[in-house]
Amino acid sequence: MLLIMETLKKQLFHSIKEIILQARQRVFRMVNSSLLDTYWQVGRLIVEDEQGGSVRAEYGKNVLKELARELTEEFGKGFDESNLRNMRSFYNSFPIRDTLRHELSWSHYRLLSRLDSDEKRLYYLNESITNNWNSRALQRQINSLTFDRVLVRSTEMTGVLTAQNILKDPYIFEFLGLPSEVKNSEYSIESAILDHIQQFLLEMGKGFAFVARQQHIVTETSDFYIDLVFYNYLLKCFVIIDLKTGTLTHQDIGQLDMYVRMYDDLKLSDGDNPSIGILLCSDKDETIVKYSVLSDNNKMFASKYLLYLPKEEELKQIIDEDRVRFDLNKEIE
């Protein structure tokens, strides 16, 4: 009897789960179609308006900047200047509205719009649909010059496009006016370490205020996701934390330096001091903690920042503890 009841309960669960997943699919398709149509029309209006300008280059630059300011105030960061440029490129790359494939997301079309020929765009568009690539898989294929090398579909391709993945696309959230920081519900060593670091910094009582987790930073050419961002109101600066779970490379260090420079360019207000980056590496063989201090800020870092920032040994201890705890939990499972 108990077995029958358990079976019926599982059937009920799976039936309800299927209904919810189908509903999410419908929501995604409706929102994504609306987003693409909206961005295409905005791009068309920008292009047409620029073509009517008397001094096209300077006119377009000034109008876009002012337009972005007004739209961002009204509708949020999904309409900032870099995204307006993306909409303009979107329209220029896909001028015929009926050719848009709404199975793909805005993140896909941003990547496709940067390609330098219609042939490449068509190839990667079709391959994305056929192979069910999400935007990160598409980016990997473009970076590896798949089109140029005329590769057939890879059987080792990862990064499947699903409604659940795309519903987490920050552009969907920005378009709806919702927060784009979506916490991954899957427990992992990365999330365990970031949870612990976040709690530690907020509780150590040295002026740390939480800003964002997996913060989405957009430039004209790329998307970046910063693991953790804090603001220290005693130091009056942002503190950026980047976590690597594999072997540390020079590219990882360079990327953090780039994050710090980019954050200073995009986020600093009057009175803010230069940002500081902390690179955490939780490789199984060695725990590494490095501060990213741009050369012109070394003196300030040594004399003032170190009074309020956590010591490298403290951060290493947190990572080591979480790694041991995570490994033990995996063994118990």
- Per-residue model confidence (pLDDT) at position 43: 93
Average pLDDT for 93-101: 90
214, 181 contact by CB (below 8 A): yes
pTM: 0.51
Chain segment 248-293, per-residue pLDDT in tens: 777 777 888 888 888 888 888 888 888 888 888 876 666 788 777 6
The larger pLDDT score, comparing residue 60 to residue 223, is at 223
Q: Is the pLDDT of residue 33 over 80?
A: yes
C-alpha–C-alpha distance, residues 268 and 54, integer Å: 35
- Per-residue model confidence (pLDDT) at position 326: 63
> Which of 17-31, 97-111, 258-272 holds the top average pLDDT?
97-111
Chain segment 176-197, per-residue pLDDT in tens: 665 554 444 344 677 778 888 8
Token pair, residue 311, equals 């010591």
- Per-residue model confidence (pLDDT) at position 293: 61
Average pLDDT for 153-163: 46
Sign of torsion over alpha carbons 145, 150, 151, 153: positive
107, 223 contact by CB (below 8 A): yes
- Per-residue model confidence (pLDDT) at position 172: 65
Q: Distance of CA 199 to CAs 7, 50, 204, 208, 331, Å?
A: 41, 49, 9, 10, 25
Instruction: State CA 276 to chain mean position distance.
Output: 20
211, 238 contact by CB (below 8 A): yes
174, 78 contact by CB (below 8 A): yes
Chain segment 280-329, per-residue pLDDT in tens: 887 666 678 877 765 555 555 656 777 778 888 888 888 877 776 665 55
- Per-residue model confidence (pLDDT) at position 187: 46
Q: Distance of CA 200 to CAs 6, 183, 196, 208, 241, Å?
A: 42, 18, 6, 10, 13
Listed by start position, the domains of the chain span 2-175, 189-332
Give the residue from 293, 227, 283, 304 showing the smallest Cα distance to 261: 293
Read out DSSP for 10-28? HHHHHHHHHHHHHHHHHHH
Q: Determine what percent of the chain is predicted with pLDDT higher than 90.
A: 12
Write 75-81 long-range contacts (CB < 8 A, 24+): 75/177, 76/174, 76/177, 77/174, 78/171, 78/174, 78/175, 79/42, 80/218
The larger pLDDT score, comparing residue 134 to residue 6, is at 134
- Per-residue model confidence (pLDDT) at position 192: 78
278, 291 contact by CB (below 8 A): yes
C-alpha–C-alpha distance, residues 120 and 141, integer Å: 12
Chain segment 220-247, per-residue pLDDT in tens: 667 778 888 999 888 888 999 888 877 7
Class of domain 189-332: alpha beta
C-alpha–C-alpha distance, residues 174 and 180, integer Å: 6
- Pairing mode, if any, of strands 276-283 and 237-244? parallel
- Per-residue model confidence (pLDDT) at position 87: 93
